[in-house]
Amino acid sequence: MTDDTDSTEPQGGLPVVRLRPKANARAVRHGFPWVYADELVIDRRTKALAAGSLAVLQDAERGDLGVVTVNPASKIVARMLDPDAGARIDRDWLASRLRRSLALRERLFDGPFYRLVHAEADGLPGVIIDRFGDAAVIQPNAAWADRLLPELAAALTEVTGVTRIVMNGSGRARGLEGLDDRTEVIAGEIGAPIEVPMNGALYLADLTGGQKTGLFYDQRPNHAFTQRLSRGARVLDVFSHVGGFALAALAGGADQATCVDGSAAALALAEGGARAMGAGDRLTTRRGDAFATMEELAAEGQRFDVVICDPPAFAPSKPALEAGLRAYERVARLAAPLVAPGGYLVLCSCSHAADLTAFRSASARGIGRGGRRMQLIHTGFAGPDHPILPQLAETGYLKALFFRLDG
């Protein structure tokens, strides 16, 4: 439904967009960063705004709410950038946000390997930046960031000193914004995969051809907890990508680890990481569909002291929730019989649509259907370089459940 009246005349150089009378302006004032399409007056001028345009958001009762970016083609029609309606969104503004993000990471980590920007939680809606030493990967998943990518890259170099930058424009989020799918090097040169030290392990990150930004920093604390369980253990890492849990387990003293993934390229990077850290003889890989491979391992009578399953997001949206929970239950059902008595099963979900309670219930059902009794000994989340905006549940997407299995 649209309103055919025109928006308020431009103010301070920016057009003005208005919330509908029944929209929850209080939520926006209290930090909720999004305005949905049915909450905004969509008049002729608003519809004519190019995706990623800047505007001043107003509430009919109390006036200006701040500067927003507008995308008339998106369900999230406006994203809050700055509660100061007079803010100038330019390279200096971007650099200020990046300095704030960098200050937190430099306090948390000894080396420059971390998620530098976690979208709305770091005040840069839709923007992901992962840092790999003197290189960085930017995911501009919102139209405004795509439009301001040159300024964002310049500010990133100014603030951090990185000399090599990759723009990764792949993924579901960009499609929802009406953006194209492309990946390109926009500064410097990227050759071989980059070595990334983390939790005593050494990973190889392919910044141009790997999945997402090339490495999943979010699992860092869960890798560390897994190390505690893996001393002297035989470990199975299913949906392993570049060996996130397996290499951490080997660094923590595991006797042997096996990676299962469908990507030959990812498994090759896992093998390269193991060799680089002097553990190549303790890592094996098995390429194939994860579900089918778990069934094959069970049929072979294989048992492991620690089994980790870190699948892709099975429930990336609310419409996919029911099917996604069934998939998580199936993962748990197939993985549980592979765990030796008294061993440990780690189940992960990166689906923001599946909250912790729903994921935990699906996992417990699957373990029970797999014929095992369980203790939940630990619940893990993303590391502090993936801060959560309390008003936005989507920023707290990662869950990791650590079970001890008997029977």
Q: Tokens 């370089």 — which residue?
A: 385
One of 259, 309, 348, 350 is an active-site residue; which one?
Answer: 350
Number of domains, the chain? 3
- Kindly provide the b/e burial profile for residues 107-144, where b requires at least 16 CB atoms within 10 angstroms of the residue's own CB: eebeebbbbbbbbbbbbbbbbbbbbbbebbbbbbbbbb
Assigned domain for 272 exists: yes
Last residue of a domain, one of 57, 82, 107: 82
The reported pLDDT for the residue numbered 172 is 86
Assigned domain for 10 exists: no
CB count in 10 Å sphere of residue 48: 11
Nearest alpha-carbon partner for 315 in 300, 304, 325, 330: 325
Last residue of a domain, one of 164, 187, 210: 187
Q: Are residues 200 and 329 in the same domain?
A: yes
The reported pLDDT for the residue numbered 389 is 96
Q: Which amino acid is at 397?
A: Y
Q: Are residues 275 and 398 in the same domain?
A: yes
Q: Are residues 333 and 202 in the same domain?
A: yes
CA distance 248 to 343: 17
Q: Are residues 70 and 125 in the same domain?
A: no
The reported pLDDT for the residue numbered 11 is 44
Q: Are residues 224 and 360 in the same domain?
A: yes
The reported pLDDT for the residue numbered 162 is 98
C-alpha of 122 from chain center: 13
The reported pLDDT for the residue numbered 1 is 39
Assigned domain for 2 exists: no
Range of the domain at 49: 16-82
The reported pLDDT for the residue numbered 61 is 76
Assigned domain for 159 exists: yes
Here the CATH number for the domain that contains residue 30 is: 2.30.130.10
CA distance 153 to 138: 8
The reported pLDDT for the residue numbered 4 is 43
Nearest alpha-carbon partner for 108 in 138, 92, 131, 141: 131
CA distance 141 to 149: 11
Q: Are residues 287 and 223 in the same domain?
A: yes
Q: Are residues 218 and 236 in the same domain?
A: yes
Q: Are residues 274 and 313 in the same domain?
A: yes
Q: Give the pair of three-digit tokens for residue 91.
A: 């390279």
Q: Are residues 203 and 349 in the same domain?
A: yes
The reported pLDDT for the residue numbered 6 is 43
Assigned domain for 4 exists: no
The reported pLDDT for the residue numbered 8 is 43
Q: Are residues 208 and 177 in the same domain?
A: no
Q: Are residues 255 and 231 in the same domain?
A: yes
The series of mean pLDDT values per 10 residues for the chain, 407 residues long, is: 42 86 90 95 94 94 91 95 96 98 98 98 97 97 96 98 96 90 95 96 94 92 98 98 98 98 97 98 98 98 98 93 98 98 98 95 98 98 97 93 93
Nearest alpha-carbon partner for 350 in 211, 142, 210: 211
Assigned domain for 1 exists: no
Report the predicted TM-score, pTM, of the whole model to 2 decimal places.
0.93
Does the annotation count 350 as an active-site position?
Answer: yes
Assigned domain for 5 exists: no
Nearest alpha-carbon partner for 397 in 308, 307, 316, 329: 316
HEC sequence for the chain: CCCCCCCCCCECCECEEEECCCCCHHHHHCCCCEEEHHHECCCHHHHHCCCCEEEEEEECCCEEEEEEEECCCCCEEEEEEECCCCCCCCHHHHHHHHHHHHHHHHHHCCCCEEEEEEHHHHCCCCEEEEEECCEEEEEECCHHHHHCHHHHHHHHHHHHCCCEEEEEECCHHHHHCCCCCEEEEEECCCCCCEEEEECCEEEEECCCCCCCCCCCHHHHHHHHHHHHHCCCCEEEEECCCCCHHHHHHHHCCCCEEEEEECCHHHHHHHHHHHHHCCCHHHEEEEECCHHHHHHHHHHCCCCEEEEEECCCCCCCCHHHHHHHHHHHHHHHHHHHHHEEEEEEEEEEECCCCCCHHHHHHHHHHHHHHCCCEEEEEEEECCCCCCCCCCCCHHHHCCEEEEEEEEC
Q: Are residues 40 and 164 in the same domain?
A: no
The answer to whether the CB of 237 falls within 8 A of the CB of 257 is yes
The reported pLDDT for the residue numbered 9 is 44
Assigned domain for 37 exists: yes
Last residue of a domain, one of 187, 205, 232: 187
